[in-house]
Structure 1
């Protein structure tokens, strides 16, 4: 009996797992799932933060410009030619033929164009006819004068002999004087006619337009059929046929502020850098400082002449001029003589050896370097990455490691 009661008591204490969960259990289970999800998100965020690519500031390994250390000041300007003209006819007329094209070289005296010459030929024909008529009048006047001279001589002899009265001698002398005046007038008329013929010939010659100097046709301004007037103004075509430029007489017109003019003098060595050839420099020298100031810009124009005009240089090309304190050494323009440079802050020490952090394809690579001369805030690389390579400036050794992905700071490099 007692044993049966004990079993009944134990059965009452046993947990019935098939029974429905209580309200408290349901509440705990509802809060447990969001907490677990939140912890998982926090863990993932911590992992992403630790793996996030750091941002670095970079600079490019650069090749120094020729004459950089000798440069006194720099200025911008444009290429221009000392001989540059709009070629226009000297007389008005209709353009019949243009014998040159843009970019074509021409020689002094070469025919560039022809105008309609019919009117000029008609004028010349009339002038030549006037010359022939004047020559005939001169011949007749000369014959009359010679006849009058002979008559005067005979009459004078007769008057001396008393054969004819003195009054008749006076009449003959008057006629002889008139004949001489006619002869003089005929001479003058012939001279006028000859000059008119020369003018007509010159007008005819002006219908053929020739090059005034050796050069290259920069622009063609008119085509056949155009009626031209003998005038041309800068920037406005009022009768020009072509623009002719001497490409062997190129200078650079650089604008220099009036405060810096004291640093420039004629004959001063200079270097010209053309925008069209950014990797090249050209030896030059100052030829003229124009004695005038542009009040609107407070600048003066300085003419800088190429030592040797480079092939491919054209008028109106953009240029920069470096005015030098002293002439350059002979090998200054040789790229091999100019070691690449990096900011000094990009160089780190690794076990007593110099190195730089290179950014390559978005990842870090430590590259050993051998340093040369220090120049200002930069240092020359005797050995190391080539010009154009991105290196990290002021690298943080705690954040950087070989192969780590990095982001380049916007605006650096």
Structure 2
């Protein structure tokens, strides 16, 4: 038992390890990696990634854009506009039309208190009546003096009365004649005072100076109005009127662009209140002065079309054109960026990007060039998204990705 060598009983672990077990695990992961790569490649072939495209939109354009010289901004103004005021001072006791009411020329629009001037007028009328009575009395005296002079002259010529009596009759006639002239002068002065008092009453009635629309009321019943508006809390005018038939656009044109403007030049006018409409106009006047602060020139543009509902002080944009747009040819058109067009067998087409990012090929017919865009017709609408610079590789039904921010 003591002679047994225990070292011989040692088990060699390296000898027990199977060579197949060493190589099986690395070989299994390699196969998985290759299989995944093949599946990804197959996926790319069967389901290719959508192409990324640049996009643009269908816009609304106007035929006048092809004749555009320059743009300017301005406001609607009335050439005939007046702050209606009284020629006298007084308190408003009646105020007629409201804002927006149309009034005819000569219509009483406001009335001031007139009790004091009415009293003055009545006194003037009385004085005129007294003066008229004085004229009648003087004429009666003159008639009597004339008859007495004729009788005295006849008797004097027969030598029946002395010369002194004849001279007294002549003197009486002359005095009566002078009295008539004086009475008539007094009557004229009394009637002048009466007319002046009548004018003072008329001044308490404020009348419309022309046919127009009331655009503002600047006084209320009980307010004091005065021509100079110098008193505290006094008003200078009771209302503001404008003749709506004289509306025009006052636009500010840059001094550097003045050479591009001429009287009679055709224009197209856009009002913010009627953004989807265009109105014809022409330059009626260029004010011969420069605004030093803004280096602009005021240009008056007459409206050839008078739209209903246009009001003073509306914002406006004026497009100065090289030639007039034909009447009836000012309707809006659909237009696209020329780079969105692609030639086809029948003409031209565009690629419309749908909401699901799927392409739809749409044939279009080209129109005139309108500045940076070109007019088109077809089954399009404003706001449609189009592929910009489409390639021939893109086809109907393709899925795409756009470069728009998410």
TM-score range, shorter chain: 0.7 to 0.9
CA contact (8 A) 1:56 1:408 kept: no
Offset at residue 315 of structure 1 (A): 0.6
Alignment of 1:408 with 2:389, yes or no, is no
CA distance in 1, matches of 2:151, 2:205: 58
Paired residues for 1:9-408 under 5 Å:
9-10=10-11, 58-231=55-228, 238-335=235-332, 338=333, 340-347=334-341, 354-356=349-351, 358=353, 360=355, 363=357, 365-373=359-367, 375=369, 377-394=372-389, 402-404=398-400, 406-408=402-404
CA distance in 2, matches of 1:384, 1:394: 20
Alpha-carbon shift at residue 238 of structure 1 (Å): 4.0
Alpha-carbon spacing, 1:268–1:75, altered in 2? closer, same or farther (3 Å): same
**CA distance in 2: counterparts of 1:397 and 1:6, whole angstroms:** 83
How many residues are aligned here? 369
The answer (yes or no) to whether the contact 1:364–1:406 under 8 Å persists in 2 is no
Query: Once the two structures are superposed, what CA deviation does each residue of 1:71-123 show, in whole Å capped at 9, x if it has no partner?
Result: 23332221111221111112211100111111222222322111111112101
- On the 8 A contact 1:218/1:245 being kept in 2, the answer is yes
Q: Is the 8 A contact 1:93 1:227 kept in 2?
A: yes
Cα deviation, 1:275-313, whole Å, max 9, x if unaligned, reads: 211110011222222333333333322221111310111
CA distance in 2, matches of 1:164, 1:92: 67
- The match for 2:33 is none
Distance 1:281 1:158, change over 3 A: same
Distance 1:397 1:9 in 2: 78
Distance in 1 (alpha carbons) for counterparts of 2:236 and 2:384: 55
Gaps of 5+ in 1: 16-51
Equivalent-residue separation in structure 1 for 2:394 and 2:329 (angstroms) = 41
Offset at residue 53 of structure 1 (A):
11
Q: Tell me which residue corresponds to 2:22.
A: none
| Contact 1:253-1:301 within 8 A present in 2 as well | yes
Report how far residue 215 of structure 1 moved: 1.5
State the alpha-carbon separation in 1 of the partners of residues 130 and 213 from structure 2: 47
How big is each residue's C-alpha offset from its partner over 1:200-242, in whole Å with a ceiling of 9 and x where there is no partner?
2222222222222222111111000001012479xx9842111
* Cα 1:137/1:283, change in 2 over 3 Å: same
Q: Distance in 2 between matches of 1:12 and 1:54?
A: 60
TM-score normalised to the size of structure 1? 0.77
Cα separation, 2, equivalents of 1:123 and 1:286: 53
Q: Are the counterparts in 2 of residues 56 and 409 from structure 1 also a CA contact under 8 Å? A: no
Question: In the TM superposition, what is the alpha-carbon distance from 1:185 to its structure 2 partner?
Answer: 0.7
C-alpha distance in 2, partners of 1:12/1:258? 102
User: Once superposed, what is the RMSD of the aligned Cα atoms?
Assistant: 3.6
* Cα pair 2:335 2:375 within 8 Å, conserved: yes
Structure 2 unaligned runs (5+)? 17-48
CA contact (8 A) 1:141 1:183 kept: yes
Q: 1:165 to 1:58 in 2, by over 3 A?
A: farther
- 1:351 shift after superposition: 9.6
Q: Deviations over 1:304-348 (max 9, x none)?
A: 11113101111111112222222322431233xx3x222223345
Q: Quick check: 276-285 or 288-297, which moved more? A: 288-297
CA distance in 2, matches of 1:66, 1:77: 22
Quick check: 2:50–2:399 contact (8 Å CA) kept in 1?
no
Structure 2 Cα separation of the partners of residues 3 and 53 of structure 1: 80
Partners of 2:74 and 2:93 lie apart in 1 by 39
What is the distance in 1 between the residues matched to 2:126 and 2:399? 99
Contact 1:348 1:354 in 2 (8 A): yes
Tell which deviates more after alignment, 83-92 or 381-390. 381-390
